[in-house]
Amino acid sequence: MCSCGGSAPAIPSGPATSCPGSPAYDPALWNNAPVIGSTNCYAYAANDPSGHPPGKPQPGQHCGSPATGVSCAEVDAAAQCDGMIPAPNPPPPRAGYYPVALVVDPGVDYHWYRQDPDGNWSHKPGNTAARRTDASGNPITNPQTADRDYSGSGGPNYSNFCGYYYVPSGGVRTGP
Amino acid sequence: MTGLTFTLGQRWIEQYVSGMMLLHSLLGQEVAIKPKAPPTPETFVKVLGEIAAGTYDSSRYFEPGPPAQLVLITNPPPVDPKERYLMVGVNTETMRSQMMSVGTGGTAFEHPVWAIFAAHALSGKPPLAVPLATSNEDLWQRLDGLASAVRARRYKPEDFFGPIEGLYPPGAKLRFTLLTVPAEQIPPLRKRGMQALRVSVPPQFFELFQAPAK
């Protein structure tokens, strides 16, 4: 059984072939200069590590229609403009694509997760390192139920789960 | 002139001058001062940039004046939901803003005295910028403590400001700017001390205050 999808059963250390369309979890690629300081969760979800200036690529920036606010609806529209494809909840496997998930702390920040080949999820907060754990330090088996509340350390609380999207296995271009 | 003003309305000018008197006191300069020309928001951010760069020369902006009473407003003023207001921003990057997905704007200041002393704190090593407070009410009330510390010659920037990791984007120069903020974004900014402000498209993440380290 393929374990891809948002509500798939947890597979802590499943085989690397569970979600063949997903990009490999590769912290060495994402967590070193210049990639770490020129990408964020959105570029990570889009599997678009290279060629960005220092900073954070924004949804809709590549297609010329960036989000004007931080809400599910605004980020959704901007991401779709870039090429993210809305997916059902949970997202069934789709050949040639992998699933990503969008969450929002309304008015403050948005965040993206992407599914790894083993069925678990990873993310890259802002210009910091990619990781496979949630706000509580637990593996992310389902972004909808993961701890997304960083307010205890003064950070955002991504309380709104906006939905899933498919990304072509080759990635989506982000940023200017 | 922008035609817009700060949430303090025209009282921002007396608060600006009071803040400069306090800064002069800290720097050992003449405290009895008056502006050479009516202050504008634009000259205010120019002065802030010069303070941060260590190039501030009081004689360009102030002249000796009668001793003035230093009065600080320590309660946040109400905002008219239909208006837009000026705030001061500076392009600082913190540990918190590095974690955010939206682009970093920096630190935002509603009260001129916080902006003035942040500019001074940015000129030091290590540079500091984000006011330390447990809430917006605490932020405003801590101005009294800041003024008392300056007067008592026990002011230390690290008692009032948190550290930064650098400037944004990396490699950029320190830059104070005027932000035009929709009124409806000010209450949530005050409530949480952070907000993605719609001062540009896409919006940018700004911090108003951060909690002191426990």
Residue A55 amino acid letter: G
DSSP string, A22-67: SPP--HHHHSSTTTTTT--HHHHHTT--SSPPSS---TTTTTT---
User: Between chains, do A54 and B169 touch, taking CB under 8 Å as contact?
Assistant: yes
DSSP state of A138: -
Interface of A with B in 90-109 (CB under 8 A): 107-109
Residue A15: what pLDDT?
39
Tell whether A34 lies on the interface with B, counting CB pairs under 8 A.
no
CA distances from A121 to A83, A101, A118, A146 (A): 21, 9, 9, 10
Contact call for residues B198 and B120 (beta carbons, < 8 A): no
Burial pattern A73-93, b for ≥16 Cβ within 10 A else e, equals ebbbebbbbbbbbebeeebeb
Hey, where are the domains in chain B? Answer: 11-207
pLDDT for residue B170: 85
What is the helix (H) or strand (E) element at residue A78, kind and residue range?
helix A72-82
The mean pLDDT of chain A is: 91
Q: Could you tell me what percent of chain A has a pLDDT over 70?
A: 90
Q: Where are the domains of chain A?
A: 27-168
Q: Is B76 left (phi over 0), alpha (psi -120 to 50) or beta?
A: beta
* Span A72-112, pLDDT tens digits: 999 999 999 999 999 999 999 999 999 999 999 999 999 99
Instruction: Report which of B195, B173, B77 is spatially closest to residue B122, judged by C-alpha positions.
Output: B173
ipTM score for this prediction: 0.93
Closest-CA distance, B37 to chain A, in angstroms, reads: 38
Q: Cβ(A55)–Cβ(A174) under 8 Å?
A: no
**Tokens for A128?**
């910091």
Give the lowest-confidence range in A12-16, A41-45, B23-27, B69-73.
A12-16
Residues of chain B with pLDDT under 70: 1-2
**Is A142 a residue whose pLDDT tops 80?**
yes
Q: Which amino acid is at B189?
A: L
